[in-house]
Amino acid sequence: MERPRRTSAKPRFNPTNIPDRQSTKNGLVEQAPTRKRRRESIPAGASPKGGNPPLKKRCNWAGVYTGADSAEYIKYHDEEWGRPVTDDQVFFEFLTLEGAQAGLSWATILKKRSEYTKAFAQWDVHSVANFTSKQVEDLLKDDSYGIVKNRAKVASVIKNAKHILEVAEEFGSFSKYLWSFVDGKPIINQFESLSDVPAETTLSISVSKDMKRRGFKFVGPKIIYSLHQACGIVNDHLIDCFCYKPIIASFSQ
């Protein structure tokens, strides 16, 4: 089951004060210190017997996933998906992974995540922007890189890195550019069912159009909406998911 999508408005927040997924490499902007959050890794399945509390409820797309990599899939849902991001390198990573997913399943890309990290210089935007044509050929032909061997997708990563640097020069960071479309306020949706979540919205269409105008590739409205969901620009956890309220609380304090 694939991940969701959608929009509506609510609480305000300051993107510089939220706990986010920060990279440890030298990113494009200096981020405010983040607070470490205690998180639990909760296995899928029925509620345990005995006096133990029932398992926490998740969004359908994660809670019912039973692939061989289900633990990793669930960990991604519990600890990353929907948590607001302000780090440019994290945005670069997810822009790349969402683009790579086009025509494929998220489970497929998630399994290859570490391979993408290795292939694209630990998501160092400056380094990737300077990849040569030989490096691109190596990524496509060298089996030691377990990425999707699609020339257009691989070439788009280098092109997008260049444009991220251009946007960062104009806006101060790529993060500020993306958050500017929602005035720095995450959109809090109130979906009860996966069927309520759209594949794209007027917001993702608008962002997609502007990014295409700037030269970005693999940034269609559906890909951009998936980016918004993954990076917390929208909170599309279902309202009965155990992640829904804590994520709201984390940026409304």
Binding residues: 59, 77, 237, 241
Please tell me the distance from the alpha carbon of residue 148 to that of residue 241, in angstroms, as a whole number.
Answer: 32
- Among 76, 81, 123, 225, the active-site one is 76
Amino acid at 151: R
- Among 61, 65, 106, 123, the active-site one is 106
Alpha helices, DSSP H, located in 66-198: 70-79, 88-101, 106-111, 113-119, 125-129, 133-141, 151-171, 174-180
Please tell me the distance from the alpha carbon of residue 136 to that of residue 36, in angstroms, as a whole number.
Answer: 37
Query: Is residue 106 among the annotated active site residues?
Result: yes
Q: Give the sign of the dihedral formed by CA 133, CA 207, CA 88, CA 83.
A: negative
- Among 81, 98, 200, 244, the active-site one is 98
Query: Is residue 98 among the annotated active site residues?
Result: yes
Contact 67, 73 (CB under 8 A): yes
Query: Is residue 76 among the annotated active site residues?
Result: yes
Binding residues for Zn(2+): 59, 77, 237, 241
Which of the residues are catalytic? 76, 98, 106
